[in-house]
Amino acid sequence: MKNILICLLIVLLCFNMTACAANGNIQGADNEPTDYEAVDTEPTVEPTPEPPKKITIVAVGDIMFHTPQIKEAYTNNGYDFNPSFEDIKPVIESADIAIGNLETTVNTMRKPSGYPNFNSPVEVLDAIANAGFDVLVTVNNHSVDTGAEGIKETVKNISQKGMIPVGTGEAEQVKYGLMEKNGIKLGILAYTSSTNGIPAPKGMINMLDTESVKKDIAEIRDRCDFLIVYVHMGTEYVRSIEDGQEELFKEIADAGADCVLGSHPHVARKSELYKTNGREVFINYSLGNFISNQNDKYTDIGGMVQLSILKDEDGTKIDGFEILPVYRLRYKEGNKTVRKVVLCSKVEEYSVISEASIQYIKKVSEEIKQLFNRNE
């Protein structure tokens, strides 16, 4: 009898253990999944790529103020140069960054003067800033027209008007421009081949030297996504590309520039797209004049370049461009001569321009817009 009871107890104990196992309650097995239970896992989420970043850049040529311009800008309340830019202002201020070559000093310690030693009233900077410019290249053959003092004053006055000077400054100052817009970092370098025989104060002028240009490019290349280099050189009033210029500009592009722009001849030269090291570089060999009082043929028609820059996961590149020729309109209004920068494409809207002049403007502007090369 005793043996029978022991057997019954053993059977009951085994039955209870089997039931507990079926309910998943065996000690030490809490929360452990079986081979037939689903295991919860987090779904794999692919990172969302950043949207492409874009900026537009407008670059123009020589901004000059001859004696007649200075005299006729004088009013009872000081100087007013705004009328020269009012018609082109919508194009300039529509760009994210606008750059021009200021071919004059702005030295308030001296009286205003025109050619041959340019020194403009500080109000020219008010008008330029009001038109929408962000950067002014200050290195050219007239940079030293009012000495070291003029270099310092010009850089100081430009900075005080909220614009960035590039190419000149105190010896210890950086002479390049670095800025960021819409997540794209832009770098600007500028050089001149001449100071009209006036000795350049040591360390205050970016003189054109191929090795120096390459060194500067290497210094800031990693600090910017897109790099523009202005080069002030060439023979005045010559519209063709000169010996050595094409080779130099392409060498600068090979060294890392994404855009190379020429100035000094006062007439516009052609542009090209140059492919190097997997990049397509926009090169212009002279933008010509933007505003001046020069009378020589072709000095009244310059080039304005509009670049669209794209930055995405593959890098930064020129996404599009347009060459917009501009005309320096000059006409009499009462006792004064009015000078305005206008788009060549809109010259027919101005009744003061003769039919013969319109045909001349159309012909030259078409020549400026044509790329002479696009190597593959």
pLDDT surpassing 70 at residue 375: no
Q: Which residue has the higher pLDDT, 35 or 152?
A: 152
The answer on pLDDT for 19 being more than 50 is: no
Strand-pairing partners, residue 56, are 308
Least confident of 29-43, 118-132, 354-368: 29-43
β-partners of residue 232 are 192, 263
- How many Å apart are CA 340 and CA 347, to the nearest integer? 11
Tell me how far apart the 2 most distant CA atoms of the chain are, in Å.
140
Task: Look at 5-9, 209-213, 258-262 and tell me which has the smallest mean pLDDT.
Answer: 5-9
Mean predicted confidence (pLDDT) in 99-111: 98
What is the residue-averaged pLDDT of the chain? Answer: 90
Of 208, 109, 91, 192, which is closest to residue 143 (Cα–Cα)?
Answer: 192
Q: Say how far apart CA 254 and CA 277 lie, in whole Å.
A: 7
**Residue 287 or 45, more confident:** 287
Local confidence band at 20 (pLDDT 50, 70, 90 cut-offs): very low
**pLDDT recorded at residue 34:** 47
Q: Which two tokens stand for residue 197?
A: 């025989």
Residue 49 has pLDDT above 80, yes or no: no
3 — pLDDT class (breaks 50, 70, 90): very low
The encoded tokens of residue 158 equal: 């430009």
Q: What residues does each domain of the chain span?
A: 53-374
Q: Which has the minimum average pLDDT: 10-19, 233-242, 256-265, 336-345?
A: 10-19
Residue 14: its pLDDT value, please?
Answer: 43
302 strand-pairing partners: 326
The CATH number of 53-374 is which of 3.60.21.10, 3.90.1150.10, 3.40.1280.10, 3.40.640.10? Answer: 3.60.21.10
Task: Work out the average pLDDT over 321-334.
Answer: 96
Q: Is the pLDDT of residue 195 over 50?
A: yes
Separation between Cα atoms, residue 132 and residue 148, nearest integer Å? 28
Q: Answer whether residue 22 shows pLDDT above 70.
A: no
Please name the helix (run of DSSP H) or strand (run of DSSP E) that holds residue 16, with its range, or none: helix 2-22
**pLDDT at residue 41 tops 70:** no
pLDDT tens digit string along 116-155?
999 999 999 999 999 999 999 999 999 999 999 999 999 9
How much is the pLDDT for 21?
A: 43
- Residue 242 pLDDT greater than 70, yes or no: yes
pLDDT of residue 42: 65
- Is the pLDDT reported for residue 12 higher than 60? no
Of all residues in the chain, what percent carry a pLDDT higher than 70?
A: 87
- At residue 235, the pLDDT reads 97
User: Can you list the pairs that 357-365 forms with residues at least 24 positions away whose Cβ atoms lie under 8 Å?
Assistant: 361/301, 361/325, 361/327, 364/268, 364/298, 364/301, 364/325, 365/301, 365/325, 365/327
pLDDT at 40: 55
Work out the percent of the chain whose per-residue pLDDT is above 90.
84
pLDDT at 4: 44
Q: From the CA atom positions of the chain, what is the Rg in Å?
A: 33
